[in-house]
Chains A and B, each alone.
Chain A
């Protein structure tokens, strides 16, 4: 019995995995569990809550600010992810060419990603400032506009401004990951397809895109998750304003729970994000990631 145990690779694997699994369990499930629990209570800062069932969820479902935050989050995530995808793909394709100073450009493109979010958010805050914005200044100097743009003053301006900041910050991750993906595609596929008569566009359509799909699925899943749960950029640039127009679920949750003291309600808003995140993961996992052609040999 002991012998068999010793010889079993599975048992050994289990033993090696145990510490990591325990740690994960502890650090992942504890906060999540606490959040779920808080969502069902009327806890306030400094006061342990009592079980109130679905009351918080019923409230946020009818609360117009939460509804607006959900709309903002979906809008922000959709537009920003689409932009990040196309910009990232375009940059990756560009960097995959044999440019001069290739490694220099590859390093430069990572810069937005390296700068701490809070710092870049402050930079954007200045860029978008109503009086000192350099963007407005340049446009006025060029004679394209006469008055400074109030980037963060009106709801739609503010929404697009924070999206711009998020895209700027998120594109490097997408671009570099897709570039890595592009480099795994053997040049012989391009040669073979050139001989087969494909134009560059057809090569992109029939070779690059399908071979890149698995990586696109992974990177866009992460991108969507990060964007959906974004907090820092918004918190520094707009604090959710004006008129809650840029409040995301995460910032609203923080505002209600910490600033407003309503821990239970804040937790409920956070937990309400989970189904959306799960849906995104499921979509990418079942819809995009593993294709038959990637699976190993053997008969079907």
Chain B
């Protein structure tokens, strides 16, 4: 096992800058997730760690070894590809044994290692099958088996679950996490799915357009997003954003929406009186103001109701801005009716309109 250090890493494809200097410190034995929208450069970064793409600038170290100029096989990493890349002409057993065979390990050792990996992943009955004869989830497990037999310093995963159906994805998610808890091998996991990132990562790196937006633990990112992008990207359904004007007065901080609605803002927020801001609040932090109460809250017109049994999702609109709310209780609002939603001041955030940065103390 080893730590991975990424320092000022840049990547150009031809004249196009894809990564603009990325720094990440990955501690030994941790599970780090790179997450971001499609095309932001996650796979490229992962492939640079693997040695499949050249490093245009900066430095990557695995353990204390600089690997910039090492070919993949000398980096002691294993990778699980999105399409699994299982060799179609080899059985499950041979797929897993391939790297060991190339490393000229003796037959008994290879058999033992394959058997152990097969046991961990419950692949024992499938060892003599070809990849074509396996289901998606089984192939996925073989791909992981191929990685773990080698007992590498680092596991790299590139969207390994995105070809699976929703139910299997959830199951494999916890399987991978459990595997990591068991093997404790440093892992770097790429996904565009923030739920995967939140549920699996010890540490999450949010990327956008070849830059890192924020790095932190799942709940840090959830509770203290550095900017509006992270706030909107992490969490589902995603955070509501309402444009308004910051009002600073003796009795606290408020945001005035376009229609005059006054909302309490987190008192420790920075920002000057009269500054245009974005008020951010998560759907689950909105509470319903009881009918006929003397009020407050954001008047919102109900557009769609989506009861899921466990909770009730309500899509609304306030002055043309989409607003969603999630209630633990069951409700039955008529579409078109108006409800009043009160944001929780303590968990709300203010963002600068100009920079998108969170206005924190």
Binding site for B on A (CB under 8 A): 186, 188-189, 191-198, 202, 206-207, 210-211, 291-300
Having A197-B103, A293-B90, A294-B88, one finds 4 other A-B pairs with CB under 8 Å, namely A191-B81, A192-B79, A195-B72, A299-B133
Complex CA gap A295/B129 in Å reads 11
B334 at the A/B interface (Cβ < 8 Å)?
Answer: no
Complex CA gap A191/B46 in Å reads 13
A-B contact pairs, 18 of them (CB 8 A): A186-B83, A189-B85, A189-B87, A191-B52, A192-B146, A193-B87, A194-B51, A194-B72, A195-B51, A195-B52, A195-B77, A196-B102, A196-B150, A197-B99, A211-B89, A293-B131, A297-B133, A297-B134
B30 to chain A, nearest CB (A): 21
B80 to chain A, nearest CB (A): 10
- B85 and A192: CB pair below 8 A? yes
Which residue of the partner chain A has the closest CB to B47? A191
**B-side interface size class:** 20 to 34
B71 at the A/B interface (Cβ < 8 Å)?
Answer: yes
CB neighbours of B129 from chain A (8 A):
300
CB neighbours of A202 from chain B (8 A):
102
- A297 and B79: CB pair below 8 A? no
CB neighbours of B328 from chain A (8 A):
none
CB neighbours of A210 from chain B (8 A):
89
B206 at the A/B interface (Cβ < 8 Å)?
Answer: no
B326 at the A/B interface (Cβ < 8 Å)?
Answer: no
Complex CA gap A35/B51 in Å reads 63
- Interface set, chain B 114-143, CB cutoff 8 A to A: 129-134
Binding site for A on B (CB under 8 A): 50-52, 71-73, 77-79, 81, 83, 85, 87-90, 98-99, 102-103, 129-134, 146, 150
B260 to chain A, nearest CB (A): 58
Complex CA gap A297/B133 in Å reads 4
CB neighbours of B150 from chain A (8 A):
196
Instruction: Given A197-B103, A297-B133, decide whether A192 and B89 contact each other with a Cβ distance below 8 A.
Output: no
CB neighbours of B146 from chain A (8 A):
192, 196
CB neighbours of A293 from chain B (8 A):
88-90, 130-132
A104 to chain B, nearest CB (A): 21
Complex CA gap A192/B79 in Å reads 8
CB neighbours of A188 from chain B (8 A):
81, 83, 85
- B89 and A291: CB pair below 8 A? yes
- A297 and B85: CB pair below 8 A? no
Complex CA gap A192/B77 in Å reads 11
Which residue of the partner chain A has the closest CB to B129? A300
Which residue of the partner chain B has the closest CB to A194? B72
Complex CA gap A192/B98 in Å reads 10
Complex CA gap A298/B133 in Å reads 6
- A186 and B87: CB pair below 8 A? no
Q: Which of A186, A191, A192, A299 has the most CB of B within 10 A?
A: A192
A207 to chain B, nearest CB (A): 7
Complex CA gap A210/B90 in Å reads 9
Complex CA gap A45/B166 in Å reads 76
